[in-house]
Each structure stands twice: as structure tokens, then as C-alpha cells.
Amino acid sequence: MQQITTITALQTYRKTCQGSVGFVPTMGALHQGHLSLVQAAQQDNDHVLVSIFVNPTQFNQASDLAKYPNTLAQDLQQLEAAGVDAVFLPDFALLYPDDYAYQVTEKALSTQFCGAHRPGHFDGVLTVVMKLLNLVSATHAYFGEKDYQQLRLIRGMVDAFFITTEIVACPIIREADGLAMSSRNLRLSAIERKIAPQLYATLVADTSLSAKREQLSAIGFAVDYLAVLDDRLLAAASLGEIRLIDNVPYNDRGAKA
């Protein structure tokens, strides 16, 4: 597996790729959810490139950034074992020669749901994804449905700016107890980890939105929002310091597991 740390090396690698290129952008701390994106990329493409970059501009709280898990050696091993061709490991100076003077901002959906609770978060996400999509110029790029609002905003950006990479959505991967896989799960205490699957269980229960909200609060979650977007019920709720998000298919008859 080739490790790429400069733009010139990325461009050289890109020129050697014959056929389609699948791109999986990540912030590291890889789990089965990321590996499912890699698998989808491998199925659809001749080459697969993964990026690992903990993007500081999308963290609205410095403490959240400081505590973000760093498991680089393990991540590289997993990607190598999965048969990934190349991994792009940029640093801040490489991706932000403008020091974040230029930003991509979406003005409607990005202010709702997670955006309402994490000011600037989606500006950081969209800006870094735009940079990565421009640099990699992949045939397909893979994103998890777990970050459903992010996925919607990235699709919108790609349409708005005529980016030719096709965005592919991949289903949420869950632990056996239903908890959606997330790098943040590593930071849950043992007690919080036991409670965390109740977020999913409550979303799919045959109850009203207000009953779900009450139920989550009673269990100990601090609920940021429960909201319907498209045909999905989205939720964000914290256990202690750890903010979890999840979403499930939803229609006027309620949620489905």
C-alpha cells in the first residue's frame, strides 16, 4: 500500500491509475463501518484510495478535537490487510494553504439539526471534502448513511459545483446490540456503552416522536434533536461528554429497524 503525503505524489499516483478510482475519505480511528466503505469501493472500482485526515475545521469544540482517537498505526494495518492500494495522509498546511480563508458554506440545511448545535461544523466538512474531491478526482467517493445530514450536504455541494465524482451512500454498520459504529464509541465509559444502544432501540420503537424524546431523557441522554429529513428519522443525543448520532428509515407510519 502506497502512503502519499504530498500533492505531487498524489498526482503521480493518480496518473498511474488505469480505469476507475474509488475514494474513501476518513478521519482515521477506523472501524467496520469504514471498512464497509472500502469494500464497496473495491467492488465498484479498479483502484481504491483512502484518506486519513482529522480535519480541525469541522470541530466546533477544541476539546473534542484534542480527544479525537488517534490510531494511525492500527488504521494503516487494517487498510493494508483490506487490500487498499493507496492512503493519502495530508497535514493541515498541505490541505489549507489559505489557512481556511476560503470556505464552502451551504445556507439552508447546514443550519438545521447537527448544524444548529455545532456552529461551523458543516462549513469545515464541506470545505475539506471539496478540497479532497478536487485533489483525488475519483470516479466514485463513498460516505456512510450514519452521517445522513453530511451525506445530503455533500451530494448537494457536488451538484451545485458540477463536481464529476459520483457520491455513493453506504448503509449504517451496527454493533450486535444495535449501536451504530462510530469512532466516538471508543470514548464511552463502560456504563455509557451499556446505555448507548438504547438510542437506536428508542428510534425504532413503535412510539411517537415526543415519547421517544421523553424515553431518551429518562434513560440519561441529553437530546439535541429528533427530526425527520426525507424518509429518515435523525437523532443526536449525548451521554456525558459523548455526542452520538443515528438515523433510521421513517415514514408516516413510524420507524423501521
**Residue 133 interacts with ligand PAF (CB under 6 A): yes or no:** no
Residue 45: other Cβ atoms inside 10 A: 21
**Residue 147 interacts with ligand PAF (CB under 6 A): yes or no:** yes
Task: Compute the least distance from the CB of residue 257 to ligand PAF, in Å.
Answer: 23
> b/e per residue, 143-169, with b = 16+ CB within 10 A?
bbbbbbbbbbbbebbbeeeebebebbe
d(CA 228, CA 212): 13
Grid cell at residue 183 = 469512532
Do residues 58 and 68 lie in contact, with contact meaning Cβ atoms separated by under 8 Å?
A: no
**Residue 37 interacts with ligand PAF (CB under 6 A): yes or no:** no
The catalytically annotated residue of 34, 47, 121, 140 is 34
Residue of 55, 149, 185, 202 that binds ligand PAF (CB under 6 A): 55
**Residue 129 interacts with ligand PAF (CB under 6 A): yes or no:** yes
**Residue 26 interacts with ligand PAF (CB under 6 A): yes or no:** yes
Do residues 238 and 220 lie in contact, with contact meaning Cβ atoms separated by under 8 Å?
A: no
- Can 34 be counted among the known catalytic residues? yes
Residues of this chain, 105-124, that bind ligand PAF according to CB under 6 A: none
Grid cell at residue 100 = 481556511
Task: Give the nearer residue to ligand PAF in terms of CB position, either 122 or 200.
Answer: 122
Residues contributing to the site for ligand PAF (CB under 6 A) = 25-27, 55, 58, 125, 128-129, 147, 150
- The residues carrying an active-site annotation are 34
